[in-house]
Amino acid sequence: MSKIDPELKKRLIKESKAPFKGLRKVLWLAFTGSAFLGLFIMLSKISSGNEIQQNNLFIQIGACVLFPFLLFLERDKKN
């Protein structure tokens, strides 16, 4: 019948169900790092006495919540 290795077939089926999963994990990790770095810079500006717009701070906090959550959703579920 099929001359494809069963292990390769399993990997291909897994990839077809969740394409580019590895790339998405890398992007979510990079965006998470960027969000936390941006928040750190904003907080250091606030602590030094500079004023920032409150909307920008809320956007940064939202990014610090959203991207780690998306990274959490990409984890391998081994049930």
- Transcribe 53-70 into DSSP letters: -HHHHHHHHHHHHHHHHH
Could you tell me the residue ranges of all domains in the chain?
19-73
| Contact present, 74 and 21 (Cβ < 8 Å) | yes
Rg (CA), the chain: 20
**pLDDT 10s digit of each residue in the chain, 79 long?**
568 888 888 888 888 887 888 899 999 999 999 999 999 999 999 999 999 999 999 999 999 999 999 999 988 776 4
User: Which two tokens mark 48?
Assistant: 């030094």
Single pTM value for the model:
0.77
- What is the pLDDT, as a whole number, of residue 33? 97
